[in-house]
Amino acid sequence: MSYTIQDWRPEDKEFWEKTGRPIARRNLWISIPALLLAFAMWQVWSVAVVNLPNIGFKYTPNQLFWLAALPALSGATLRIFYSFMVPIFGGRKWTAISTASLLLPAVGLGFAVQNPNTSYFLMALLALLCGFGGGNFSSSMANISFFFPKAEKGTALGLNAGLGNLGVSVVQFTVPLVITAGLFGALGGEAQTWVKGNETKQIWLQNAGFIWVPFIILSTLAAWFGMNDLASAKASFKEQSVIFQRKHNWLMCILYLGTFGSFIGFSAGFPLLIKGQFPDVNPVKYAFLGPLVGALVRPFGGWVSDKIKSGAKITQLVFTGMIIAVFGVLAFLPTNGQGGNFWGFFACFMALFALTGLGNGSTFMQVPVIFLNMHEKLALQGVKTKEQALQDATKEGAAVIGFTAAFAAYGGFLIPKSYGTSIEMTGSVNAALYLFIAFYALCCVINWWYYMRSGAEAKC
């Protein structure tokens, strides 16, 4: 049985209605849970590190911030390579391989946290391996972009990414629950004694890794036996590397760093930020809500951008709102450990998460439209045929989606580290937050000038 589809014409309405849509949707619905698991493994350290000091690991606050940030660093770097893998290997094969790779950090974490004498080097290595989950996003989004026509790309990519992003919230909600019981009996190892002040309890922190193993195996099998490779999506790295000469690739990298980079960075740093700024608040009770809001809003960002036929307008609204929300966070933070209002701080962060989700959807609607319009102009000028223009636009758009996702993922490293650096240098996180405001203002200017204003170079 061949899993490779030779004839794929999503822009042909008759083909799409009769043949294309059911196949595309099947690949999308298998892709989503695989991506959700990838995000869960990518962000599992954001929850695990909160518990390490209480079970005997003697790590400094800075070392803990490093463990929370390292998966984002490796994930962002891997995304650069993963961006180009689908046209080389095929979407089905690469989804199965990349999903199966998540078993390494899942099993490794499960064993490492059972011994408080585990070296920091090994823990850091396992945190880096969690970057496999981060890398998967670029290949997953590039793969799904090949399956859908221009009119539905925003919605499809929004669903894939938005429901996939739920993995961040799922891991931050699930891990605090599953570590309270010995779910795997003798196979799962002994409990650890969790100590904070006069309070002690038994926890099984290894479940933070082990709980994902059966789901990873099932998702790998579903991808291998249920997805497809597209012959028309085949391309060498050399063919795809033309995107590095495209100005709009780099501009969209900046905008997506502002949206997705903020989403993943805020997600990674939120538990430790709450713990540091409001010590009397239990961060695990609230941290999962931010990523949940951001992930649920993302499909709406793609859908509404498709409906109004302008991702740039939504993106502009997003960055304006984020500037206001960060000023709100600053207003509710404690000063020198005194005052502050947790609920005001929390509400502003929920607004930030919602806006990042909306922007994640709108920016990913912009990318395919920008490159399709660019190549259609070349076809009208007689530089290439309409068919060739469509094929080139699809391949370049998919590569740009993957690469911008790689670039933006560094936000997952930069934001937690900026908190730590700001605290170390100034005694508070305020300097980092003012830096975010300046960056979002820059994003507003870029988006308005190139994509939104009347007469914009690539209006979308």
pLDDT of 248 above 60: yes
Q: In degrees, to the nearest 5, what angle opens at C-alpha 318 toward C-alphas 313 and 322?
A: 155
Mean pLDDT of 92-115: 94
Tell me which residue has tokens 């806006």.
355
pLDDT of 181 above 80: yes
Confidence (pLDDT) at 441: 97
| Alpha carbons 220 and 226: distance in angstroms, whole number | 10
Confidence (pLDDT) at 165: 80
| Predicted confidence (pLDDT) per residue in 303-356, tens digit | 888 888 888 999 999 999 999 999 999 999 998 778 889 999 999 999 999 999
| Predicted confidence (pLDDT) per residue in 22-40, tens digit | 999 999 999 999 999 999 9
Mean pLDDT of 122-130: 93
Mean pLDDT of 194-223: 91
Mean pLDDT value across the chain: 88
Mean pLDDT of 414-429: 88
| Alpha carbons 253 and 260: distance in angstroms, whole number | 10
Q: How is residue 430 written in tokens?
A: 């305020």
Name the most confidently modeled range: 47-51, 350-354, 361-365, 451-455: 350-354
pLDDT of 442 above 90: yes
| Alpha carbons 31 and 76: distance in angstroms, whole number | 20
The CA dihedral of 35, 38, 42, 44, to the nearest 10 degrees, is 110
Number of Cα atoms under 13 Å in the Cβ half of residue 198: 0
Angstrom distances, CA of residue 396 to CA of 84, 252, 311: 10, 13, 18
Residue 381 pLDDT class (50, 70, 90 cuts): confident
What pTM did the predictor assign? 0.77
